[in-house]
Each structure stands twice: as structure tokens, then as C-alpha cells.
Structure 1
Amino acid sequence: MPSDRPIFILGCPRSGTTMLQLMMHAHPRIAIPPETRFVTAAYQRRLRFGDLNDPARRRELADWIVGRRQSRFHELKLDAAKVTEEIVEGPPTLGSALGIVLRAYAARFGKPRWGDKRPAYFQSVDALLRLFPDAQFVHLIRDGRDCVASLKEMPWYDGSVYDAVSVWAEAIDFARYGAPGLPAGSYYELRYEDLTRDPETELRGLCAFLGEEFDPAVCEPSRMARVVPSWKSWHERTRGEVTTARSGSWKERLTRQEIALCESVLADRLKAYGYEPGGAPGAGRLQILAYEHTAARRRLARLKRVTADRLVRLREPNPPAALLTEGQVALAGGTRPRHEPPVPVT
């Protein structure tokens, strides 16, 4: 039986997740939208929406999703009124409401499988599993030095080089220590360098993990680049052919001090994923201390988020899990809701 499990793409920012999103979106059965901003935001605010057994509360939630510009719902090019009614008439859970939006995006392209892409999702896998308990996660990993170099050049990035190094370390630590504890069949990782060097081999493996037939279209993500909002100028390279040209470009894009920092504090992680050191001298003591201070600050912020979430769970008026797919319904011990909107054929 064809899979209907939702798919989530994650990884350190600037690791190639947009390219992978377009590759998956090119598959005839899968639709992954440009980065949205409503899934984790809604989860964090779930107490505000109240008891979703009340249709009026579901309407308030729907209005928040479709009307909040930060959610980027407008970039999905969906009928807001229609999506709102589907949420109001749908299962009374937060995951169902959010999944209905993603499902509607897939239906726009006549595809049955839906999901989302956001690099920072590696920080929220626990929450995503509570919302979508049958989810499959695809983690794209890239040389941390290239990620740091690319992050520094982004117009939207306002962090320090120490933050950039820290976020890559956090993504790798999730892969090494968090992912092994996920449900069987729910996690898959691949390297950017392998994906760009041999897209077909890597994507055949990914499709097998997802339970999908390989389709050659996934090797040509540039054909799908039109779905990326034009204002995201930093994704311009997705409009061209898949290339290895950017792999290893950190050698020209990072300073000697930055290379020394990366190779000093990320050495074990780089080695674990097959990234060879560049032979830089060790980072200075002040650099190491600055990095450790940044990493500690980020760990504390993460601990506060986790603690706050645990407290919110004690006050949840409804279980958050979606009831839209076969797996979700089976895990809930129920039956599939009857009001399933048809998937249009385009």
C-alpha cells in the first residue's frame, strides 16, 4: 500500500535543504512547500487556541494560520477561506489543523504526500512527533565549514561566527545522539557532498526509505525552482544544475582564524562525517572561550525551551497528534475521519 506518511526535511541552515526540498517536490507523489513558519509557532502557542473540540476554537486557529504574515501562508498560494473551512470541519487536534494546510498544498499539485522543510526542525523533532507521530525525517548534512562560510554571507543572518559554528555542532549532535532514539523507519540522513556528486544514487536510497518508487525527475530540482519565492535571492543557485562547485569553498570564504576555530572545536564531528581537516593551526584561547560561552548560552536557552514545553504539556486541553493519515489514525486507535477532501488531478 502506498505510504501517506508526512515528510520533514531538516539540517543546519545553508546545508542544501532547499535543494533537497525541490528534489522531493519534483517527485510525482510528494509536495514539500517553501519554508513555512506556522508549525512550531502554533505548537508553542497551543494553549492560546484552547479546546479544539469547539469548532469556534478551530476557526480561531485557522484564522491565525492563514492571516498571520509571519506564517508565510500567502506563499503557498492556497484559498484561505477553503483551508479555513477544512480545518473547522476536520479532526479536533492541532496536528490535524496544521497537516490540513500542508495537505492542501500537496493537493494543489495533485499529490498525496505532504510535509515541510525547515532547517531548524532538528531542534523540534520531539514536538513534530507529537504533532505527526508517523512522520519521516530527512536530515541533510554538509561540511560544517561550508555551512559557517555560507551563513556569514546571508543577508538575514545576524549571529556571530561562534553562533554559526554552534548551530552546526547542535545539528550534528542531534544526528549522533538524538536520532538513534527515534522510532524505527523514521529517520534518514545523507551528505550534501554525496548528493551533489551522485544525485541518482543518493535519491534512490532516499526514495526507498520513504517507500516511494524512484523517479528521474527528482534529479532535476531546477525545474521546480519556481515554487521558491523570488525574494529569496540567496536561493538563486537552485535555478541551475546540481553542482559540486560549492563543496569545499570554505577554503576561500573563511579567514584563517575562522578555519582554525572550526577545526579546533568541531574536529570530532567533522571526522565522524568524513570531512578531512585542512591542517589549520589550533584556535587561540580567546576564540575557544568565546565559542564555549556562545555554546553554553545556546544550551541554556534550549533547556529553558524544553522545560517550558514540559510545563505546557501538563495543561494541554487536547492531545496534539494529527488524525489525517493511516498511520496517525492507527496510532490513535481510531478510524479515519470520513470527510477526506479529494486530491485534484492536474
Structure 2
Amino acid sequence: MPIPEPAPCARPVFVLGCPRSGTTLLQLMLHAHSRIALPPQTRFVLPAYEGRHRFGDLRDADNLAGLARWITECEETRFHELGLDAEVIAGRIAGGPPTLGSALGIALKSYAESHGKPRWGDKRPAYALHVDEILRLFPDAQFVHLVRDGRDCVASLLGVPWWHRGFHEAVATWAQVMDTTRRSARRLGPDSWHELRFEDLVADPESQLRALCAYLGEEYAPEMTEPRRLAGTAVPARKTRHRRTHGALDTSRAGSWQLRLTPNQIRLCDAALGKRLVRHGYELSGAVGPDPAELLRYRWVAALRRAAHTKRRVLDRLARMGEPGPVAARFGA
């Protein structure tokens, strides 16, 4: 008797990383696969989870319909950028399983279906600090973590108009993402966590994407190495900072921190991020130590970020005790 072939994988895929690490590029590469669809960056998964008490028990039809309207009609969710019929998707959510994960998954899955693809998921850098929440919503999720040289991420953050938190906060952000994702990787293991470097992805996309497809249980698709073919439709026009996704893969930005950061900034980055940079294969500049006052300021900012993260986790644990209804998605493929 012939051995049946294994069923194609249908686990949702979530791309995450530090802001400005190249996650939009990776989203486009995955979206180019014939079986995978990742939408433009949405804003409804985490806000819905954090506001789940406000939506009430979704086993009540009116509450589920209210959640459906919030997902599909509110400007802040960016649902409109998915190009889907809001009324149709709201109806699907209202008629679907009465859990938060199911409602959110229906919206994301509908985007994949609109492209004729069975695999769905989402991309957002912030998910790096919210892996536990994503797993509560989608227990079978697979995570893809894109790492970029922390100094390049810092330099890039300082160059975007929406970053108003300053240099020390940018350094602390990369450090926190690296520490948090390292713990997630250890806990989840290679079946649910895959990590790759931005620099390797743009220098040798085929080998990196082959390894990524193997992790996802998918056949490698050569068209994944040409994400620019999709940038015009899969990246919202408002995202002018992602214009490089419209061109060929560019390796020139790797290591550009040497020109974009000041000597003092480089010294602090090496001191604050040194072990993490080396752990991920990046060479230090060899510069002398930073000003002690600057290092102290960084440590204070980093401590505040860690305290805020710990507080959020504690509050989430408390919020779970009085949840109005089930959270995890209940559908399969």
C-alpha cells in the first residue's frame, strides 16, 4: 500500500523583528509564494487582544457583530488597506466561531483567499514583544524573526519621521527585541521559530529563502527573490519609507551605520549592544568606550523599557482571569 503524502501545512505565519529591520521586504518575499499571503501591516490584532474585555463575550451575537464592525470599519485598524469588501468580511466574522482569534483569523485568512492562497498570517515588528499574545490567539502559529545589525536599525530609526523617542530609546529597543526573541526562540524551538539575518537575505536570497520554506513546510518558489514585482500592490502608497522595496535587492544599506551614526553614537552602540551583536555575527567597531554619562542614560532608558514590559505582562495575566470568553482561534485551514 502506498504511503500517503503529508497534508500541506496550513499554520499561520507571523513575521516580526525590530522596527526598520527589513520585515516589509521579507513580507513581500513570502507574499510572492504561490501558497502564502501576508497583508500590508495591519493594526487590529494586538489592539483587539488588549481591548478584548471591551468587546465582551463573543458568544453573544451582538458582541461578535460589534467586533466585526470594529475590525472592518475603523480607520485605525487599517483593514481598508487589505482591499476586501468590509460588509462581506464583517458577515463572515459575525457568522464564524465566537472567539477573538477566530474573528481576527477570518480577516487575515480572507485576505489570503482573495489572492487564491491557503496560507495566511501577518507582519508587524511589534509582534516581537507580543509572542505570548499571538500564541494565545493562534496556538499553531509559526514565527519568522528577521535580525538586522542593531546599529543599522538605530541609524534607520533616527532617519524616519515617526520616530520621536531619540537615540538612546532606539538602542534600547533593539536590545529589548533581541533579548525577548531569544527567550521566545528557546521556548518554542525550531518547529515554531525561525531566525535569519537581513544581511544574509539580501546577499544570498535563494539559500535563505530555501531554508525558510523548509521551515514552513513549503516548496521553494524562485519568484520569492523578486519582491519588487509585488511592491506596487502589496505596500501601501503612504509608506514612502519603503520605496526601496520597489527596486532590486540592495546590499549597500548593510553596514551603513558607519556613515550614518556619529563616533559617539557608535561607541555607545558597541558598549550597550556588543554581546548581542557578536552573538548574531556582527563585528564591533573597536572604538573606545563611551562617555560614562551617556552609558548611564542608556541604562536608565533600557531599565524603564524592561519595567514597562514586565508591567504589561503582569496586567495581561490579571486580565486573563476575567476574560469574557474564549480567545484561541477554532478553525483549521
What residue identity is the alignment partner of 2:66?
Answer: E
- In the alignment, does 2:75 pair up with 1:69? yes
- In the alignment, does 2:208 pair up with 1:189? no
**Shift of residue 281 of structure 1?**
1.5
- In the alignment, does 2:113 pair up with 1:113? no
Instruction: Spell out the pairing of 1:27-46 with structure 2 (5 A cutoff).
Output: 27-46=33-52
Question: Which residue number corresponds to residue 130 of structure 2?
Answer: 124
Question: Which residue number corresponds to residue 331 of structure 1?
Answer: none
Question: Which residue number corresponds to residue 3 of structure 2?
Answer: none
- In the alignment, does 2:311 pair up with 1:304? yes
- In the alignment, does 2:272 pair up with 1:265? yes
Residue-by-residue CA offset, 1:181-215 (whole Å, 9 max, x unaligned): 12651100000011011000000000000000000
Question: Which residue number corresponds to residue 332 of structure 1?
Answer: none
- In the alignment, does 2:165 pair up with 1:169? no
Residue-by-residue CA offset, 1:73-98 (whole Å, 9 max, x unaligned): 11111100000000011011000000
- TM-score, length-normalised on structure 1? 0.93
What residue identity is the alignment partner of 1:19?
Answer: L
Alpha-carbon separation, structure 2, partners of 1:15 and 1:148 = 10
Question: Which residue number corresponds to residue 25 of structure 2?
Answer: 19
Question: Which residue number corresponds to residue 107 of structure 2?
Answer: 101
Bigger shift: residues 317-326 or 269-278: 317-326
CA RMSD of aligned residues (A): 0.9
- TM-score, length-normalised on structure 2? 0.96
Alpha-carbon separation, structure 2, partners of 1:292 and 1:84 = 46
Alpha-carbon separation, structure 2, partners of 1:324 and 1:19 = 29
Alpha-carbon separation, structure 2, partners of 1:230 and 1:155 = 16
Q: Which residue of the other structure, out of 234, 244, 252, is the alignment partner of 2:241?
A: 234
Residue-by-residue CA offset, 1:223-262 (whole Å, 9 max, x unaligned): 1102101111000000001121100000000001110110
Question: Which residue number corresponds to residue 4 of structure 2?
Answer: none
- In the alignment, does 2:234 pair up with 1:248? no
8 Å contact from structure 2 (residues 203, 251) kept in 1:
yes
Question: Which residue number corresponds to residue 217 of structure 1?
Answer: 223
Bigger shift: residues 210-219 or 65-74: 65-74
Q: Which runs of 5+ in 1 are unaligned?
A: 327-346
Q: Which runs of 5+ in 2 are unaligned?
A: 1-6
**Shift of residue 177 of structure 1?**
2.4
Residue-by-residue CA offset, 1:308-341 (whole Å, 9 max, x unaligned): 1011100012220001225xxxxxxxxxxxxxxx
- In the alignment, does 2:139 pair up with 1:133? yes
8 Å contact from structure 2 (residues 17, 125) kept in 1:
yes
Describe the SS at the equivalent of 2:195. strand
**Shift of residue 176 of structure 1?**
2.3
Alpha-carbon separation, structure 1, partners of 2:249 and 2:330 = 37
Describe the SS at the equivalent of 1:10. strand
- In the alignment, does 2:73 pair up with 1:79? no
Question: Which residue number corresponds to residue 335 of structure 1?
Answer: none
Alpha-carbon separation, structure 1, partners of 2:189 and 2:286 = 39
Alpha-carbon separation, structure 1, partners of 2:160 and 2:79 = 23
Alpha-carbon separation, structure 2, partners of 1:298 and 1:255 = 24
Identity, in percent, stands at 55
Describe the SS at the equivalent of 1:266. helix
Residue-by-residue CA offset, 1:267-287 (whole Å, 9 max, x unaligned): 100010110011222111111
8 Å contact from structure 2 (residues 144, 195) kept in 1:
yes
